[in-house]
Amino acid sequence: MMIIYLKPNKKKWQKKALTQGAPVLLILLVLFILSAYPPNFLRRPLIALMTPFWQTRDWGADLFKTMFAPFADKNKLLEENAALKTELARKNLTLAALADLAVENQELKELGGRNLKTLFVLGAILNRPPVSPYDTLTVDIGSNERIAVGDIAMVEENSAIGEVSSITKNSASVSLYSTPERETQVAVGIERTSAPARGRGGGNFEVRLPKNVIVEIGDAIILPGISHHLLGFVSEIETGPNDPFQTILFSLPVNLNNLRFVMILKK
């Protein structure tokens, strides 16, 4: 016996699917348009009708995030980590300011009412290394804001990172104190031991002090002067058995790659 198989009519099946699906698509389209631009008399019923769909959408989105959270993009995790480090650095700046407050108050009393009023101008960072020269920032303020060469670039109001090195009408270059081989006079630790800090690039410094000077990890390093501008915290101390000096290593307490603004302290 011969068995004959009939080949499905593809065009007929497609026509049937289109006929059945078109009304559904039309209804969904109408609902979408009405939900986006509902007449006043339909607003309340449409909200009631669409609420379950919105809740399901939100629930599905939350479920998707929960399921795939362990596989989050590596770059996003790195960005979050950098943000946390920046926040930690800001808190360190606040703690350092509080630690210096008692000493500063005593010194201010001895100064007999010297005027300490300061004036800052906020500038956005336009360029940074490698676009700008090494350890140099370009900011969007210049002579139009009456800043001058030698003005100090600050973050968080009490941490100095460099000085204005050149100016145009609408921009300025800030040379960081950490520029390689640049020397900046600093005061180290609780005893405020004076010494030159030598830049090592990328926000890093070193200071050479006699071994008999007491310095501990975490000690603040500041610029000499009445305002106690913070430069960094001691992160490492290197010593050698035959070396009468100790090498103090420290860094700027901010992540330069994440820095978006600086405050220029006018003289």
Question: Can you tell me the mean pLDDT for 226-243?
Answer: 88
Residues in Cβ contact with 264 at an 8 Å cutoff, skipping those fewer than 6 apart: 120, 121, 122, 123, 139, 141, 145, 147, 151, 152, 153, 154, 164, 172
Question: Where does the pLDDT of residue 190 fall: very low under 50, low under 70, confident under 90, or very high at 90 and above?
Answer: confident
Q: How far apart are CA 110 and CA 113, in angstroms?
A: 8
Q: Answer whether residue 11 shows pLDDT above 50.
A: yes
What is the reported pLDDT for 130?
A: 73
Across the chain, what does the average pLDDT equal? 76
What is the reported pLDDT for 182?
A: 95
Q: Answer whether residue 17 shows pLDDT above 80.
A: no
Q: Answer whether residue 5 shows pLDDT above 50.
A: no
If asked whether residues 95 and 160 sit together in one domain, one would say: yes
What is the reported pLDDT for 149?
A: 95
* 39-75 pLDDT tens trace: 555 545 555 555 555 556 555 656 556 665 555 566 6
Which CATH number is 143's domain given? 2.40.10.340
What is the reported pLDDT for 57?
A: 55
In a domain? residue 101:
yes
In a domain? residue 34:
no
In a domain? residue 15:
no
Start-to-end CA distance of the chain, whole Å, equals: 107
If asked whether residues 216 and 151 sit together in one domain, one would say: no
In a domain? residue 202:
yes
Which CATH number is 238's domain given? 2.40.10.10
If asked whether residues 126 and 166 sit together in one domain, one would say: yes
If asked whether residues 167 and 229 sit together in one domain, one would say: no
Distances from the Cα of 8 to the Cα of 16, 139, 204, angstroms:
13, 72, 76
Tell me whether the omega of the peptide bond preceding residue 130 falls within 30 degrees of 0, making it cis.
Answer: yes
In a domain? residue 209:
yes
Q: Answer whether residue 168 shows pLDDT above 60.
A: yes
Question: Where does the pLDDT of residue 109 fall: very low under 50, low under 70, confident under 90, or very high at 90 and above?
Answer: very low
If asked whether residues 108 and 139 sit together in one domain, one would say: yes
If asked whether residues 100 and 131 sit together in one domain, one would say: yes
Q: How far apart are CA 73 and CA 256, in angstroms?
A: 23
* 212-229 pLDDT tens trace: 999 999 899 999 876 778
What is the reported pLDDT for 231?
A: 93
If asked whether residues 171 and 192 sit together in one domain, one would say: no
Rg (the chain; Cα; Å): 32
Higher pLDDT, 167 or 87: 167
If asked whether residues 243 and 148 sit together in one domain, one would say: no
CB atoms within 10 A of CB 184: 21
In a domain? residue 134:
yes
If asked whether residues 129 and 261 sit together in one domain, one would say: yes
If asked whether residues 104 and 219 sit together in one domain, one would say: no
Name the DSSP class of 171.
-
Show the domain range for 222.
183-251
If asked whether residues 198 and 231 sit together in one domain, one would say: yes
Instruction: Label each residue of 222-238 as H, E or C.
Output: ECCCCCCCEEEEEEEEE
In a domain? residue 33:
no
If asked whether residues 169 and 230 sit together in one domain, one would say: no
Predicted TM-score of the model (pTM): 0.59
Tokens of 243: 């070396």
Q: How many domains does the chain have?
A: 2
In a domain? residue 224:
yes
DSSP output for 112-131: TS------EEEEEEEE-TTT
* ∠ Cα 160 219 213 (to 5°): 115
